[in-house]
């Protein structure tokens, strides 16, 4: 008598009754719970995902809490604290400051401070918070000039003629 080969995995034959299948399912659930228990500290300690874009809303709040005493709410450096300083703080509404101010310059200035001008370092703020403030500073600029488009206004027909489209 020829024996036909069995393609079943030998361990599967033990799970033919409901009780054995139930124990197998509990074993899988238990392994998943054990894995979750092991990963729980890593999940709890994970930082929030950084989108890479600074938050102007958060920058406004941080600016009001940390910078407005010297630079003013509007960034014009017109405060009583500024008037008592020997070196007045920068006014972000000044066109000369607006031309030279860059986000990286604002970030580095907040990180390191300026000894000669008397601005303290804001090392207690995280990098993300300093970038948020740097982004907010650009909303304080009042003399933003609109960009004029050098291209002439064309009608639909003139545009088709110039582009040679029919």
DSSP string, the chain: -PPPPP-S-GGGGGG-SHHHHHHHHHHHHHHHHHHHHHHHHHHHHPPPPP-SS--HHHHHHHHHHHTHHHH-TTSS--SHHHHHSSSPPPPTTSHHHHHH--HHHHHHHHHH-BTTTTBPP-TTS-HHHHHHHHHHHTTS---PPPPPP-SPP--HHHHHHHHT--
Mean confidence (pLDDT) of the chain = 76
pLDDT of residue 123: 92
pLDDT of residue 40: 67
pLDDT of residue 122: 93
pLDDT of residue 59: 93
Nearest to 132 by CA among 27, 83, 61: 61
Number of other residues whose CB lies within 10 A of the CB of residue 59: 22
Mean pLDDT over residues 117-142, rounded? 88
Query: Is 60 a residue whose pLDDT tops 70?
Result: yes
pLDDT of residue 117: 84
Query: Is 99 a residue whose pLDDT tops 90?
Result: no
pLDDT of residue 102: 86
Specify the fold of 56-137. Answer: Cytochrome Bc1 Complex; Chain D, domain 2 (1.10.760)
Query: Is 154 a residue whose pLDDT tops 90?
Result: no
């Amino acid at each position: 008598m020829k024996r036909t080969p069995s393609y079943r995995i030998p361990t599967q034959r033990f799970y033919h009754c409901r009780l054995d299948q139930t124990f197998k399912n509990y074993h899988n659930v238990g392994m998943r719970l054990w894995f979750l228990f092991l990963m729980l500290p890593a999940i709890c300690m994970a930082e929030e995902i950084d989108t890479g874009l600074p938050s102007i809303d958060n920058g406004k709040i941080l600016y009001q809490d940390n910078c407005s005493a010297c630079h003013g709410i509007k960034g014009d450096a017109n405060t009583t604290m500024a008037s008592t300083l020997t070196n007045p703080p920068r006014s972000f509404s000044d066109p000369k400051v607006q031309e030279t101010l860059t986000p990286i310059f604002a970030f580095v200035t907040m990180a390191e401070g300026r000894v000669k001008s008397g601005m303290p370092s804001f090392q207690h703020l995280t990098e993300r918070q300093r970038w948020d403030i740097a982004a907010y500073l650009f909303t304080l600029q009042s003399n933003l000039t609109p960009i004029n488009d050098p291209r002439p206004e064309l009608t639909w027909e003139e545009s088709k003629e110039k582009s040679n489209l029919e």
